[in-house]
A and B are shown apart, each in its own frame.
Chain A
Amino acid sequence: MQSANVLLRKIVRSSMLPLAAQHGMKKDLFPLSRTLSLSLHLKQDKLCEPSEKVDLDEWKKVMKSGLQEEVSEMVSEPKELSSLAAARETLEMWRLAGRAVPENITEDQLKTFMECPSKSAKKKYLKYLHLKELYKKNSKRKTDEKRERRLEEQDEASKPEESRKSSFLCLWSSTMDKAYNWRAAQSMIFGQPLVFDMSYEKEMSVREVTNTVRQIALSEGCNRRSLEPFHIHLCNFKDDSLYHREFVKHYREAWGKLLITVTDKCYTEIFPKDKLIYLTADSPKVMKTFEHDKIYIVGSMVDKSIKTGVSLARAKRLGLETAALPLEKYLLWSRGAKNLTLDQMMHILLTLKDTADWKKALEFVPKRKYCGFVNKPVKELKKTLDLINTLRLGKGREEVGKQFAKNYSKKYKLK
């Protein structure tokens, strides 16, 4: 008994912590396991303690000490903030918290922010501003880099051979402009009209109107550059509308000099009704060929909230013929809505007008929206697909099953 006691004492002593032994474990020896577990626990506790004395609350002291000067500064400021200033403060705090918030925000943007009806609308708007800011910063950095590089290059390739002979004056862009304008002017007399219906302002948010104007500007640009431009009509255009303001913002002085027709009249007042075709993705009729004596109407609407049937309703009201692009017929559609942007429409229509080649024209549909071109009519494709499916699922499966059973039963029987 005694020898065992000594042995145990030795074990206890030799363990890392003499503490357990000190607590008088001599007397009762049988709860050995308890002792050991206790010591283990103590050991962990010991380890957890900041052994080499890290002052854990030191950061608080640092934070508080840094304060003194700032506090004295702040006292002099007026306590009540205007709502705008308060919003600005909140934004700053959000930025510090690492949310997607722009660094600089103008008074107008702040007001728009405060007028947002819901929290999520506010968040969205801020994110939009944030991304815009990032984008701007990046492009600025890039142009700066470019400029520097150019300056370096100029320094390197400084003086030699200044006099290069050329029979043309280097006035490319302005000459081109003149040529383009000449063509556009001709189109205003002889060209095929293309109407943008500007009556959807009420259906859109401010952002959507801005996007629409941008898209129209892009379409106008590519129209001007084409060999045989359309004569663009902006119909139902109100002078004091948001559209107008956005156009002026976009084009500045050039707005008055554009070679397009802008009118507050409806297209039905200008053109004979039977010549008009309203292009809309909701139309039950599918366009087969591009007709050179018809006047196509495109609704100037960006609709992010998918309001189906708005432009179809308009065409129905006016009793106009409608048509949709034959997207399904020529493309294996994969994802995305069938409504295209205005500049894509313009590209497609211009190509059709010049070449009458659907495949070429539909190249302008964004690649992400379709898997590829269909070389056979879809109906035939569907038939073969159905055939394959029935073969695979119907008879095919049975047969495969039978064969499978045959093979395996044979094997099993043999064994």
Chain B
Amino acid sequence: VQPPEKPLQAEEWDKLREDFQAPEVFEEVMLNSMIRCNSPIDVAKSLLTHVAKRKGDVAYNVLVKYLTLCVQQGRVSEVRDVYDIMKARFKILESGAYSLLIKGLSNSDHWRMALTLLEEVKKIMIPSRTCYECCIKAASRHQDFKLAFELYDEMLAQDVVPTLNVLQSFFDFSRGMKGAELQKELFGILLYLRDNQIYPHKTFMRSIRLWFESIPGGNWRGRLTKIKESGQCPVCDHQLEDSNLTEEEYSNLSQRIIKDVIHGTDTFRKTSPQEFEAFQTFVENRLPFDIVIDGLNVSHIKTRKLQCENLLDAVNCLAKENTRLLVLGRKHMLMNTSNWKREIMKEMQNKADFFFAENISEDDAFLLYATLRSGKHCKFVTRDFLRDHKACLSDSLTRHLFRKWQRGHQVAFSAEGRSIQFLVSFPAAPAFRYDCVVQTTGDTWHIPYKDVFEEKYSYQVPRKWLCIQQK
């Protein structure tokens, strides 16, 4: 329905209502379309008056819709009126109305009221992140940073993920402010980005840069740059953190992979204890490998060729002097079928070590184990994203570790033309010798960022950096 352009008389509303197919929901539908068209508030008022006269009451959902319209147009006094009416009418409100009120009031001089409302919400449930966002923004707009950070900490403590907007607003509003405490808090936000591998977008990055440069007496200077392949920053010649995991992280990851991915809830789901044990002794006797190949994955590079030929190409391409290869496969590969010729298999077995798992076992788990067990230099070849295995890891910290390790150690391949190109790091980007996260050395900060509307897959990392250094 098209909402009218000017307030209507009761009779006119009546007529419209009668013409509507479902008169019971007429008000709702009408208000919805008013919200959509951003109609003048007076029109909505006239509708409410009509409803009030007809029924002697305005239903809660209609009130909420009206409130939405008021908030949308920033009518603060109207929002307050509606709040007074609601408060008198109902003992408590529900979350939708609360968040609307908070949104409406936090942008006005009555922003303190939004905070009391937030307290009320907390009594019922955990407030949504937009509620927090509004309150935090209001507080920092009024330079009450203590309150803003209290709310922020509370939000994190409740596992509510802050929006990038909130984080950005901290930098925006504290531009040019002095104070060691404030600075520490903002550095804390940057470290939060680091810990969660969040990349700020361009405008956020600009806010960070402006804040740094505005610190009185800080002498910070920011430059946009791209990091060299060696991991050196062209601006300050600083070497970025390398992408290797620390010893502790590495052993932690290996253990978690064995525990969560291979064994999981039931070792029999992916393999069997006997098989895994056999595999372990097999690997221990031949350590260390340089490259571990997922045989079945590689054998499907080119559909025109026989699968064993594909694998042979891969092995020939990767086998160089003193490179120790391990190929993982399944027992059916030994059956001398049309796709798997016995002679070719024999030839390959001279060049690389082979382990054949049971046909119903999952070879990916073995791939991960063998690579991790061989040490940090070892890489693995597969086109699989290994998402299902990453999902088996129980906490996000280990998943981040896994992703980082995967970036540094997975080798993908491209099969353009006749030859197979290997040692293209996963996924088709130059090998990252440096770690792509927010990082600091105290007097420098390096912050990767992405363009605002850049479509970035979760496995890709941004290439642009903000380098900030203190003179």
Contact = CB atoms under 8 A, between A and B. Distances in A.
Interface of A: 47-48, 50, 52, 54-60, 62-64, 66-67, 70-71, 74, 86-87, 89-90, 93-94, 96-99, 119, 284, 309-310, 312-314, 316-317
Contacts of A66: 56-57
A59 B49 contact: yes
B240 to A, nearest CB: 38
B123 A86 contact: yes
Nearest to A101: B94
Contacts of A60: 81, 85
A86 B124 CA distance: 7
Contact of B59 (A64, A87, A96, A309): A96
A44 B188 CA distance: 55
Contact of B91 (A50, A62, A89): A89
A313 B268 contact: yes
Contacts of B270: 309
Contact of A50 (B42, B81, B360): B42
A59 B9 CA distance: 14
10 contacts: A50-B42, A50-B46, A59-B58, A60-B81, A62-B53, A63-B89, A86-B124, A93-B60, A93-B97, A310-B266
A223 B9 CA distance: 68
Contacts of A52: 9
A96 B7 CA distance: 26
Interface of B: 5-10, 28, 40, 42, 45-46, 48-49, 51-53, 56-61, 64, 81, 85, 88-94, 96-97, 123-126, 266, 268-270, 272, 359-360
Contact of A97 (B8, B97, B272, B360): B97
A50 B7 contact: yes
Contacts of B5: 48
Nearest to A53: B9
Q: Is the interface of A mostly helix, strand, loop or mixed?
A: helix
Given A50-B7, A54-B49, A93 B88 contact: no
Given A54-B49, A67-B88, A62 B124 contact: no
A74 B89 CA distance: 10
A67 B49 CA distance: 16
B268 A314 contact: yes
A89 B125 CA distance: 13
Contact of B48 (A50, A59, A89, A284): A59
Contact of A58 (B8, B53, B59, B64): B53
Nearest to B124: A90
B126 A94 contact: no
A98 B61 contact: yes
A55 B123 CA distance: 38
Given A59-B51, A60-B81, A94-B94, 4 more contacts: A58-B52, A67-B89, A90-B94, A309-B269
Nearest to A203: B265
Nearest to A317: B268
A54 B59 CA distance: 21
Contacts of B40: 48
Which of A50, A55, A99 gathers most chain B CB within 10 Å? A50
B56 A89 contact: no
Nearest to A314: B268
B124 A63 contact: no
B448 to A, nearest CB: 31
A48 B6 CA distance: 6
A119 B124 CA distance: 12
B88 A64 contact: yes
User: 7 tightest A-B contacts by CB?
Assistant: A313-B268, A93-B94, A59-B52, A96-B60, A62-B52, A56-B45, A59-B48
A303 to B, nearest CB: 13
